[in-house]
Copies of this chain bind each other. A is one copy, B any other.
Amino acid sequence: MAPIINGRVLFNAMPEGFPEPGKATTYDVSQTIDLGADSCSSIDPYMRNHMKPASPMGGYILPFVLGELLSGHGVSMVICLEHEKVKVGEHLYGLLTHKHYMLKQDLKQLHILENPSNLPWSTFLGVLGMAGQTAYFGWREYSHAKKNEVIYVTTGAVSVGLVIQLAKINGLKVIASAGSEEKLGFMKEIGAEVVFNYKTTKVSNILVKEGPIDLFWDNVGGGAFEAAIEAASLNCHFIECSKISGYNGETQAQPKNLYLIKEKSISISGFVITQLLEKYKEEFYRILYPLVASGQIKHREAIYEGLEQVSDAILGVQKGTNKGKATVCVADA
């Protein structure tokens, strides 16, 4: 194989608000490499968190290094590696950098994917990737859900699609919100009883009518958080996922009723999926892969072709304009 351009995506500047393509992140073609294969990179809301200075208290989110590679969850095919644990042609899942080819010695943090039904590899970055794991692990560890309870789920992204479907499997009544009619349609399709557009409908009006709620799956915070506290039943559980509406410095409603957490005996769980990985990983693939392969669990993807699209995909995720889980796929022509 002749040397080919090894396209990469670099972190170029700390964004003030939304991460502007070409400014916050740039696509770089200055390097070449000799190998070839297919790969997929997951584009996730949390990436915005790596585009700001580290917290003065230490913090667990390390900023991307300016001028260096972006990183995130990805799937890469093994092409020419001598390693006792993997074979050429196998696909590995884990935290990877955004470049076409990588030379890796240490495979400890990478997971060899099994794919007997030949699902697209992007699936392993969506409903079967970190997004799905967030929903599945959080559900299993923190939901304590009982049949006929009422859950309110914010945003219609893939992770949430799975939360709705897990809630329906467990016999809950589902109230779900999103920001586009197209997402509301998907949420109806996967079983949500009550769907509404948070841009045109006041959350608290819906929850007063359809609640009280026993479980709150929170992807946005702000006004929805306040409305959920107001509509919470005694011993309500809140599961805190990525709070995309606060990432880009947008004005966000700050809850004025936190004192009700005590009054209503509300429990709130934030979680980092890496801490739950060992506990649920095997179960996750064993239970979910066949449900996804058979179509019983539905999901939607927004596939971008080529690393040149990473910056646009990041912005789409932050603005919520994608119609499914955003993934950037690359394959040799």
Residues of chain A at the chain B interface (Cβ within 8 Å): 49, 55-61, 207-208, 211-212, 221, 225, 230-231, 234-235, 238, 240-243, 246-247, 252, 254-256, 258-272, 275
Closest B residue by C-beta to A245: B259
- How many Å lie between the Cα of A238 and that of B49 in the bound state? 23
Closest B residue by C-beta to A232: B57
* Tally of this chain's copies: 2
* Contact between chains at B240 and A262 (CB < 8 Å): yes
- How many Å lie between the Cα of A267 and that of B267 in the bound state? 7
Contacts of A60 in B (CB 8 A): 234, 263-264
- How many Å lie between the Cα of A56 and that of B49 in the bound state? 37
Q: Which 10 A-B pairs have the closest CB atoms?
A: A254-B254, A243-B259, A261-B270, A268-B268, A262-B270, A246-B259, A240-B262, A265-B272, A240-B261, A266-B270
Contacts of A235 in B (CB 8 A): 275
- How many Å lie between the Cα of A240 and that of B261 in the bound state? 7
- Whether A262 touches B271, Cβ cut-off 8 Å, given contacts A60-B234, A230-B57, A231-B57, is yes
Contacts of A265 in B (CB 8 A): 270-272, 275
- Whether A272 touches B57, Cβ cut-off 8 Å, given contacts A243-B258, A246-B258, A262-B243, is no
Contacts of A266 in B (CB 8 A): 240, 268, 270
**A274 smallest CB distance to B (angstroms):** 9
- Whether A258 touches B255, Cβ cut-off 8 Å, given contacts A208-B56, A230-B57, is yes
* Contact between chains at A268 and B261 (CB < 8 Å): yes
Given contacts A254-B254, A266-B270, 9 further A-B contacts (CB under 8 A): A60-B234, A61-B263, A240-B258, A240-B261, A243-B258, A260-B270, A262-B271, A265-B270, A267-B267
- How many Å lie between the Cα of A241 and that of B261 in the bound state? 9
* Contact between chains at B259 and A264 (CB < 8 Å): no
- How many Å lie between the Cα of A207 and that of B225 in the bound state? 26
Closest B residue by C-beta to A134: B262
- How many Å lie between the Cα of A260 and that of B269 in the bound state? 11
**A29 smallest CB distance to B (angstroms):** 34
**A279 smallest CB distance to B (angstroms):** 14
Contacts of A271 in B (CB 8 A): 262, 265
- How many Å lie between the Cα of A84 and that of B215 in the bound state? 44
Contacts of A55 in B (CB 8 A): 230
* Contact between chains at A259 and B230 (CB < 8 Å): no
Offer 9 A-B interface pairs, CB within 8 angstroms, sorted by A. Answer: A49-B263, A55-B230, A61-B263, A242-B259, A246-B258, A254-B254, A255-B258, A265-B272, A265-B275
* Contact between chains at B212 and A259 (CB < 8 Å): no
Contacts of A238 in B (CB 8 A): 268
